[in-house]
Structure 1
Amino acid sequence: MAGGATLGRDFGRLWAAYAASAVGTRLAFDAFPLIAITVLHRGAAEVSALAALGAAVATGPRTAIALAGVLLLATPLLLPRRETREEPEPAPAL
């Protein structure tokens, strides 16, 4: 965008904040197995389970929301139909 319109100072700040957040998240995910290996002296299976747990915690809310949506849509299809009684029509008002 040399010589052209810029996206503005606020956009630059937003992009920098996003980049810092992404770097921090990546470091955190990489730090869990490293800490488990060096400090806790755990084996490969335990480190793998810890890494999977970290990924599950990160995607948990998204998965829960998606599952709730599927359940809301599928519940009427899965439950048996109830027989409905016809209510008598109300008398006309005088």
Structure 2
Amino acid sequence: MVAGTVLLVPLPEPAAPEESKDEVEVGWHFHPDSWGRGLATESARGAIAHGFKAGLGEIYAVVRPDNGSSLAVCRRLGMRPLGLTNRWYGAALESFVI
């Protein structure tokens, strides 16, 4: 069984062109059977390390405000909270950067 996925992907272009700067997001999606075992944190940590090694200067994460588990992953990764934003995906999301 696949536990889940982790990814580094470009964030969609923001509505305001002056804000565009090739931003990259780390994301994770895990099957509920895999929750609570540290897999998201460790997988995302590896993806972030890969991104930095490939030359990225910063990496973002965006999380639904009610997703306490993913908010906790961002904190465990040492990501800096940027607050609530509507900048990406057409929804109010908590944003983080590392």
TM-score normalised by the chain length of structure 1: 0.30
User: Which of the pair has the greater relative contact order for Cα pairs under 8 Å at 6+ separation?
Assistant: 2
More strand by share: 2
TM-score relative to the length of structure 2: 0.29
